[in-house]
Amino acid sequence: MRKLIILVGLLLLLSSTSVVAQTKPWEERKEQWQERIKERIELVISRFDNNKERHIAVYNAAKDRLKQIADELEARGYDVSKVRADFQTLDSMIVKFAQDYASFIDQLRAAEQYEPGTQGFKGVIEAARSKLKTVRDDALDIRHYWQTVVRPDLKSLRDQNPTPKSSAPTSSPSGT
């Protein structure tokens, strides 16, 4: 009987030490997992950042070209008030795109503060997803606005018969 008690005691001791031994690797694994998720988030952010920089560069180039053509045609006596108004709207749309994008990145970075797999983490990722949809819609709006408003307004200038301004300098088109 005494032997049996000693045997059971030994078994209990062994099992408890194995549990303690297993807890430490689990903690380590969890930390590794969290680290990996943080790395993934950073990778996703850098990928989106590249896209955002490309979009902003393209939008600004288009905006500058629009301003240039408006200046040039105005000097030739064209009424470019519509194109100038379109320019302002386009500018504010680009600003909104950049702001919404910054908000999306903030949301994504906030996910790094939560423990992966938790409800809080999932909630933050879902909120980031929703903000990303807004960014995508902004990009779509800019493209749509160019195609349906700015382009027709610019095209309609061809129908104008301008009265040349006497003092206006005869600007030559700059090759871009």
Would you say 22 or 161 has its CB closer to other proteins?
161
Which lies closer to other proteins via its Cβ, residue 15 or residue 144? 144
In the complex, least distance from residue 54 CB atom to other proteins, rounded to whole angstroms: 6
Shortest distance in whole angstroms from residue 48 CB to other proteins: 7
Q: State in angstroms the smallest separation of the CB of 79 from other proteins.
A: 13
* Residue ranges binding other proteins (CB under 8 A): 37, 40-41, 44, 47-48, 51, 54-55, 58-59, 61-62, 65-66, 68-69, 72-73, 76, 78, 111, 125, 128-129, 132-133, 135-137, 139-140, 142-143, 146-147, 150-151, 154-155, 157-158, 164, 173, 176
Question: What single string gives the DSSP state of each residue in the chain?
Answer: -HHHHHHHHHHHHHHHHHHHHHHHHHHHHHHHHHHHHHHHHHHHHHHHHHHHHHHHHHHHHHHHHHHHHHHHHHHTT---HHHHHHHHHHHHHHHHHHHHHHHHHHHHHHGGGSPTTSHHHHHHHHHHHHHHHHHHHHHHHHHHHIIIIIHHHHHHGGG------SSS--PPPP--
Smallest separation, CB 102 to other proteins (Å): 13
